[in-house]
Amino acid sequence: MSTSVFAPWDDPDAKPLIRFRNVTKRFGDFVAIDDLTQDIYAQEFFALLGPSGCGKTTMMRMLAGFESVTEGTIELAGQDIANVPPNKRAVNMMFQSYALFPHLSVYENIAFGLRRDKMAKDKIDARVAEMLKLTRLEKFARRKPHQISGGQRQRVALARSLAKAPKLLLLDEPLGALDKKLRQDTQFELMDIQESTGTTFVIVTHDQEEAMTVASRVAVMDEGRIIQVATPGGIYETPNSVYVADFIGDVNIIKGTAKPAGKGKYFLDWGVNQAPILAASDVGFSEGQECHLAIRPEKITITKEKPEEAENTVQGKVLDIAYLGNLSTYYVQLPDGQIIKAQTANTRRLSKRGITWEDPVWVRWTATAGVLLEK
Amino acid sequence: MMRRFALIAVPYVWLLALFLVPFLIVFKISLSDIALAIPPYTPTLKDGFGALIEGLDFENFVFLTTDDLYYKAYLSSLRIALISTLLTLLIGYPMAYAMARAPQEWRPTLMMLVILPFWTSFLIRVYAWIGILSNEGLLNQLLMGMGLISEPLTILNTNTAVYIGIVYTYLPFMILPIYAALDRMDDSLIEAAEDLGCSRMSAFWLVTIPLSKNGIIAGCFLVFIPALGEFVIPSLLGGSGTLMIGKVLFEEFFNNRDWPVASAVAVVLLLILIIPIVLFQRNQQKQAEAET
């Protein structure tokens, strides 16, 4: 294993910092977390991603100690933390609402946790100063939370939760209240701080871009289960299900039946009067098995002329064009009514664009461009 | 411009007509002398303006200092008002806290229950307490029936009965502002405090109490101010030993028919009350500023 790449999850000897073992959480009849097993390693930036109600917040609150576990165990650094109350856990949380104490100054907010540890006054001063510096809040130490901006409040919340140097920092939608521009800057700031402090971060978010940007690994959740855990690249390029492929980014899903076509290759029969699609897959499919091809729009090339020697080619006409500035997405309608999205980078000026509405076009992609999925 | 002026004028006219003018009349009477006439003081406007001004003096205020009844009554009122405010806070805070922590769907009902007593006349409710607290009253019968006491407790016509009456009557005024403050509080603040190492108890002292401070202050003033001048409760539930300025005031007006001295007592009471009222206003103002 290469030492330059941070990937403890691939190392069988690595000891996880957090272990969820067959954890189930029920609220009455409602199953919030369903028999979940997952390891999270030290110094990871682990993102829990999913729609609201998928259980990601419950998972985080169980780590913080605000929710008990119905079944199973959660271990932190090898210890079962079921009976450890929140105030005794080496875990701190940054709340979605920030939960800054409105009656205390920025300084007092950051010092709050340190004072509870009965730390000496000069040590508290030094630690708070360090945190203020880390989050560039030195000038605002004396202000009350209502006297600073939303972005500054977010940084106070981060400084306060980092002040006690927790083993694990939980971030509940930390950037949800910020506007887009500020959110992007803050994402990099979060990554820098995570790296420089070496703290393990677990972040809960419903924003897939945010998860992809900051996380070392992303867990996509749905209905109390983790559907897939992988690096952002892994999640995007090799989703394990239609749900994950569809949840992350834009995707074309083509449904059909498989027919083996040599080693690691399959033909996908998918439409009347259409040549079968050739697709590579590491997963085996039997003849006639129903499957889905997930293929990203940017991996599909669109041309006006019929391409020569392409592994997969389909003809259609342009139904719609979504112009995003840097990119354009073409919605190509096939004769049978299916729509395939093809994306191109707008490297040339708009006026030089050759393809417009109603144009007959060809779309093509390689056998390895997509992923064959069972479900 | 005219409309804005009219809008601002309304509360000022209100204040002028219903507070300042009556106060000036009372103040004028306090500077007059007692007389066997209708009205029972002299001089009046009938004597002419010059004679009226000449006839006024501070004699009655001087008189208040010569008889220790008055200053004892003021002090005793202050003490009773302070102690009952404290008792109301001790009982009201947990109730407000429980209401704010109750499930959302229960809160309107609980709020109704707190306000419900207001639907019955205040006098009837105080009379009801006589029925409960008297020697043959419900409380004594219950305690004796249970065998806890062999002789009835003397509660009615003592200061204890006055405290019970005041606490009972003014409890909603304590609960409602504290409840409002606690209800506004974000629950995640308590979780954040626990997350940062607080026990439940210390989170309560370090976060909940400071954040409900304005509600506590408002509640205390809302109880303290009317309790200080309270007349009905001490006269119905208190005994001869209960000395409260409201009672003294009543006796001066209606038993002694000494309007000038009674007015002087009222003016001094108002001066005493102005301090907490101003403090209360400042608290409200500070709170309003903090929220903007």
A11-36 mean pLDDT? 91
Contact A95 B197 (CB under 8 A): no
B203, pLDDT greater than 90? yes
A354, pLDDT greater than 90? no
- Chain A touched by B192 (CB under 8 Å): yes
A218-223 mean pLDDT? 93
B56-62 mean pLDDT? 89
Percent of chain B with pLDDT over 90: 57
Contact B188 A99 (CB under 8 A): yes
A48, pLDDT greater than 80? yes
Closest to B152 measured CA to CA, from B128, B136, B167: B136
B162, pLDDT greater than 90? yes
Secondary structure of residue A195 in the 3-state scheme = helix
The CATH number corresponding to A8-246 among 3.40.50.720, 3.20.20.70, 3.40.50.300, 3.30.70.1150 equals: 3.40.50.300
Structure tokens at B274: 């102005």
A33-59 mean pLDDT? 92
Phi, psi (rounded to 5 degrees) for B146: -80, -5
- Chain B touched by A87 (CB under 8 Å): yes
Higher-confidence position of B78 and B44: B78
B121-139 mean pLDDT? 92
* Closest Cα in chain A, distance from residue B288 (Å): 13
B292, pLDDT greater than 80? no
d(CA A363, CA A367): 13
- Chain B touched by A116 (CB under 8 Å): yes
Structure confidence by residue, pLDDT tens digits, A137-155: 999 999 999 999 988 999 9
Q: How confident is the model at residue B210 (pLDDT cuts 50, 70, 90)?
A: very high
Q: Which residues pair with B176 in a beta bridge?
A: none
Determine the residue among B182, B186, B188, B195 to mutate to test chain A binding: the one whose Cβ has the most chain A Cβ atoms within 10 Å: B195
Contact A101 B189 (CB under 8 A): yes
Q: What HEC string does chain B produce?
A: CHHHHHHHHHHHHHHHHHHHHHHHHHHHHHCCEECCCCCCEECCHHHCHHHHHHCCCCHHHHHHHHCHHHHHHHHHHHHHHHHHHHHHHHHHHHHHHHHHHCCHHHHHHHHHHHHHHHHCCHHHHHHHHHHHHCCCCHHHHHHHHCCCCCCCCCCCCCHHHHHHHHHHHHHHHHHHHHHHHHHHCCCHHHHHHHHCCCCHHHHHHHHHHHHCHHHHHHHHHHHHHHHHCCCHHHHHHCCCCCCCHHHHHHHHHHHCCCHHHHHHHHHHHHHHHHHHHHHHHHHHHHHHHHHC
A298, pLDDT greater than 50? yes
pLDDT score at A272: 72
A212-219 mean pLDDT? 92
A1, pLDDT greater than 60? no
Determine the residue among A81, A91, A95 to mutate to test chain B binding: the one whose Cβ has the most chain B Cβ atoms within 10 Å: A95
In chain A, the residue whose alpha carbon lies closest to the alpha carbon of B186 is A99
pLDDT score at A37: 93
- Chain A touched by B199 (CB under 8 Å): yes
Structure confidence by residue, pLDDT tens digits, A78-103: 899 988 999 999 999 999 999 999 99
Percent of chain A with pLDDT over 70: 98
Ordered by start, the domain boundaries in chain A are 8-246, 250-373
Structure confidence by residue, pLDDT tens digits, A317-334: 999 999 888 888 999 998
A357, pLDDT greater than 90? no
Contact B211 A102 (CB under 8 A): yes
B91-115 mean pLDDT? 94
pLDDT score at A309: 79
A191-204 mean pLDDT? 91
pLDDT score at B9: 87
pTM of the model: 0.81
Q: How confident is the model at residue B7 (pLDDT cuts 50, 70, 90)?
A: confident
- The topology under which CATH files domain A250-373 is OB fold (Dihydrolipoamide Acetyltransferase, E2P) (2.40.50)
Ordered by start, the domain boundaries in chain B are 21-57, 67-291
A224-233, A267-276, B128-137: least confident range: A267-276
pLDDT score at A4: 65
* Closest Cα in chain B, distance from residue A113 (Å): 5
Structure confidence by residue, pLDDT tens digits, B21-49: 999 999 999 998 888 888 888 888 788 88
Window A:48-67, CB contacts with B under 8 Å: 64-66
Task: Give the ipTM of the model, two decimals please.
Answer: 0.82
**Secondary-structure class of domain B67-291 per CATH:** mainly alpha
- Chain B touched by A139 (CB under 8 Å): no
* Closest Cα in chain B, distance from residue A237 (Å): 38
A243-268 mean pLDDT? 88
* Chain mean pLDDT for chain B: 90
Q: How confident is the model at residue B81 (pLDDT cuts 50, 70, 90)?
A: very high
A278-300 mean pLDDT? 88
A56-84 mean pLDDT? 92
B115-121 mean pLDDT? 91
* Chain mean pLDDT for chain A: 89
pLDDT score at A2: 45
Higher-confidence position of B85 and A188: B85
A3, pLDDT greater than 70? no
- Chain A touched by B185 (CB under 8 Å): no
